Amino acid sequence: MKTLLLTVDNCVNNSEIYSQAVDYLNRGELVAFPTETVYGLGAVATDESAIRKIFEAKDRPSDNPLIVHIGNVEEIPTYIEYIPEVAKKCMEKFWPGPLTIVMKAKDGVVAPSVTAGLNTVGIRMPDHPVALTLLRTLKKPLAAPSANRSGKPSPTKAFHVKEDMDGRIPCIIDGGTTGIGLESTVLDVTTETPVILRPGGVTKEMLEEVIGRVAQPTLQEQKEEKTPKAPGMKYTHYAPEAPVYLIDDSTNLYEAIARLQAEGHTVALLAPDGYEQCGANYFFTLGDENEQQQMGVYLYDALRACDKTDATIILARATYKKGVGVAIMNRLEKAAGDKWYNNKK
């Protein structure tokens, strides 16, 4: 299959591009498109055979559900039995935006593979002109996970999608670099106290200002649950080829890097600005440590860049778990499989 790259910008006839993409989707094919979080790999959410192609193209485990993207709030009652008050407040405050709300699904409306057999469905309205125009032209919901091969870092640029999906999907819409760089916050409102299943750009603090107490279990607590609420959480994610080790700020980076190099390692370092001179063979910046939004934008690009090097080990400087830092550390802990340099034998 040849993969077509369609670029939307101010200089070309964009309406033709959208109608081409909509044609693919209506024919049950996949289209990758930019959102404000990361690039998504979309298929019509009610078309089971199209949805199966997402799982094939990504090599995604079939018990990992997909998020449904909509272009208008009015569509919600089509998919949801009952919209809880907290969900309404969140939609009003955070949509369009990087918040996925998990609610009880109406039976038999979205394709069964979208919910992976759960009786809930995660829905969001993306805040990106290309995603919204695509959805509103299509006039159908799009189920879309991140447009990377399963396990790899999510794509924040169209060429990341091409790296992972070339020859596997017919069409990528290139709308430039995504703004946030981290996937949406996933909030489950089916329990008495809403639970953050995946941290993201909409933080616990922001949610609590609008809907009161919200629970945010750690990765460890989620792992200990007998039946994981967000099935995706149990899989490896965001991982480059070489092993990633987190390193905290009490460990001397110079010494750690020198020791690894003496052991024969080629070291890539992912860290905020200011750590360029630590002697690593490769340095990838995570931006300004005091601007965690910025760190989110750099993170996946930096993890992917490691795969272009001959590094045999990747050290990632831990950041503080406050605000968006919670989401950044969640992704880094998963990329590292929770390995810390100090524990390295």
List Cβ neighbours of 157 (8 Å cut-off, separation of 6 or more).
Answer: 39, 176, 177, 178, 301
- Is 170 or 199 the residue whose CB approaches ligand AMP more closely? 199
Ranges within 194-213 binding ligand AMP (CB under 6 A): 197-198
Rounded distance, CA 319 to CA 324, Å?
Answer: 10
Q: Which residue has the CB atom at the shortest distance from Mg ion?
A: 146
8 A C-beta contact, residue 316 and residue 247? yes
Ranges within 128-167 binding ligand AMP (CB under 6 A): 145-146
- Is 124 or 317 the residue whose CB approaches ligand AMP more closely? 124
328 binds, options ligand AMP, Mg ion, none, Cβ within 5 to 8 A by partner type: none
Contact characters 85-104, ligand AMP, x per CB under 6 A: -----------------x--
118 binds, options ligand AMP, Mg ion, none, Cβ within 5 to 8 A by partner type: ligand AMP
190 binds ligand AMP (CB under 6 A): no
Pairing mode, strands 185-188 and 171-174: unpaired
- Is 102 or 256 the residue whose CB approaches ligand AMP more closely? 102
- Using CB under 5 A, count the residues that bind Mg ion: 1
For residue 99, report the phi and psi dihedrals to the nearest 5 degrees.
-130, 120
First to last CA, the chain: 46
Rounded distance, CA 128 to CA 112, Å?
Answer: 27
90 binds, options Mg ion, ligand AMP, none, Cβ within 5 to 8 A by partner type: none
8 A C-beta contact, residue 133 and residue 69? no
146 binds Mg ion (CB under 5 A): yes
Helix pair 158-165, 292-306: axis angle to 10 deg: 30
- The number of angstroms, rounded, from the C-alpha of 325 to the middle of its chain's C-alpha atoms is 15
- Kindly provide the b/e burial profile for residues 297-318, where b requires at least 16 CB atoms within 10 angstroms of the residue's own CB: bbbbbbbbbbbebebbbbbbbb
Minimum distance from residue 116 beta carbon to ligand AMP (Å): 8
133 binds Mg ion (CB under 5 A): no
67 binds ligand AMP (CB under 6 A): yes
8 binds, options ligand AMP, Mg ion, none, Cβ within 5 to 8 A by partner type: none
Looking at 84-92, 119-127, 205-213, 316-324, which segment touches ligand AMP (CB under 6 A)? 119-127
Is residue 88 classed as helix, strand or coil in its secondary structure?
helix
Pairing mode, strands 31-33 and 40-44: antiparallel
Residues forming the site for ligand AMP (CB under 6 A): 64-67, 102, 115, 118, 120-122, 145-146, 183, 186, 197-198, 229-233
Residues forming the site for Mg ion (CB under 5 A): 146
